[in-house]
Amino acid sequence: MRLPHLTLALVGLVFAIGLLGANAPVFAAPAATTPPSPAATPAALPPGPKAPPSGAAIAQTCAGCHGTEGRLKAAAFMALAGMPKAQFVQAMRDFRSGKRPATLMRHVAEGFSDGEIDAMAAYFAAVKPE
């Protein structure tokens, strides 16, 4: 009997169509008939230097392994909360250069500039360990 094969193929096709259309809006918004008035649109800001993210914001990238705010409650990874700035900076630069071997941290450290490393170091130094 070929019905199970046909049913399986149909279910697979419906699933594939669902995946392809998953990002499409279910109901389209009506098209705007008139452009917004110039008074209603905010003036564009002139191009300028982008404010760098804060050390606290950058440090959140460490939370997956080192715990929220660097307060780790497991022995698998080093806690970062309360770490002296110089120690954090040296460790990150050593990871980045390959001087300090690591499976993952070299790749992580390569993604940060010296300024970002300094900002994270200042943040973690200011966080009180629990």
- How many structural domains comprise the chain? 1
Least confident range of 10-24, 58-72, 94-108, 110-124: 10-24
Residue 94, pLDDT score: 96
SS3 assignment, position 61? helix
Is residue 7 assigned to a domain? Answer: no
Tally of CB atoms within 10 A around 8: 10
What separation in angstroms does the CA of 37 have from each of 42, 46, 113, 125? 10, 21, 43, 50
**What CATH number does the domain containing 91 carry?**
1.10.760.10
User: Is residue 32 situated within a structural domain?
Assistant: no
Q: Is residue 96 part of a domain?
A: yes
Q: Which domain holds residue 82?
A: 55-126
**pTM score, whole prediction:** 0.59
For the chain, first and last CA: distance in Å? 66
The pLDDT tens digits of the residues spanning 47-98 come to 666 667 788 888 998 988 898 888 887 777 888 999 999 999 999 999 999 9
117 found inside a domain: yes
Inside any domain, residue 94: yes
Q: Is the pLDDT of residue 111 over 70?
A: yes
46 within some domain: no
Mean pLDDT of 28-35: 58
Continuous segment of H or E residues that includes residue 6 = helix 3-20
Residue 75, pLDDT score: 75
